[in-house]
Amino acid sequence: MSRTSIIEVRGLCNRFGRNSVHEDLDLDLYRGEILGVVGGSGTGKSVLLRSIVGLNRPVAGEVRLFGQNLLALPAAERSRLEQRLGVLFQGGALFSSLTVRENVALPLIEHAGLSRRDAEELAEVKLALSGLAPHAGDLYPASLSGGMVKRVSLARALALDPDVVFLDEPTAGLDPIGAAAFDQLILTLRNALGLTVFMVTHDLDSLWTACDRIAVLSQKRVLVADEPAKVAQYDDPWIRDYFNGPRGRAAYQAVQES
């Protein structure tokens, strides 16, 4: 079956002072898939995400989005390309002084040029897509539960109808029921909207439940990127401990029984 790469990372190098995080890293993201990105502490999972979406400039390498080299584009063209990407940041990164509705409407006003009224009406649609009740739009971030923060952040990531959504630890801090509901929401949105999803996570349940492929970062590069079952059998000590330890076995068993 032929797959279309909509994001291609080639020869990526990220260094911070004397600390080398990535060296000659290659990775593809295929249209319509949910890709889970895992790795031990310090392997640069979030740095990779930020490099792809244009928030971190690597010291070397190439990031091609929809066939265009992001790093070589003029600022205006790069900005237009980046609007085809939606990002859910770890912790939500919501503006505390704005209501939920205003948080989601903001990119529609700033980037799509909508009036505040139109932007807020569309924001209500995005909030509904993310599984939030109508009254949630009037709330402020300080009054939201952890699960609601994730859903509001997802609604904001979907505001501009992106082709690709980037999720940075989307289920971190959620209870098991909330995390499972969020996984199902991502699957539903991918299937309904044709989204492509790049998800940094350490949640074994999410990896087994939602992901079509898993990319493992190790030794400053992508060690393996394949279907979950194949990655779990890869001959590497960290992968064996991660996927075949007690929690990994329990997560796999739960998926098999569902």
At 93, the pLDDT band (50, 70, 90 cuts) reads confident
User: pLDDT by residue (tens digit) across 48-86?
Assistant: 999 999 889 999 999 999 999 988 888 888 888 888 999
193-222 as b/e: b if 16+ CB within 10 A: eebbbbbbbbbbbbbbbbbebbbbbbebbb
At 173, the pLDDT band (50, 70, 90 cuts) reads confident
Residue 117 is predicted with a pLDDT of 95
The letter for the amino acid at 43 is: T
Distance CA 228, CA 208 (A): 7
Q: What is the DSSP letter of 33?
A: -
CATH topology of domain 32-44+75-257: Rossmann fold (3.40.50)
Can you give the length of the chain in residues?
258
Q: State the pTM of this model.
A: 0.91
Rounded to an integer, the average pLDDT of 173-181 is 89
Measured between its terminal Cα atoms, the distance across the chain in Å is: 27
At 247, the pLDDT band (50, 70, 90 cuts) reads low
User: pLDDT by residue (tens digit) across 64-74?
Assistant: 999 999 888 88
Query: Is residue 91 scored above 80 in pLDDT?
Result: no
Let me know: does 21 contact 220? Beta carbons within 8 Å: yes
Chain-centre distance for alpha carbon 182? 13
What contacts 102, CB < 8 A, 6 or more positions away?
Answer: 95, 120, 123
Query: Is residue 146 scored above 90 in pLDDT?
Result: no
85-116 as b/e: b if 16+ CB within 10 A: bbbbbeebebeeeebbbbbbbbbbbeeeebee
Q: What is the DSSP letter of 212?
A: S
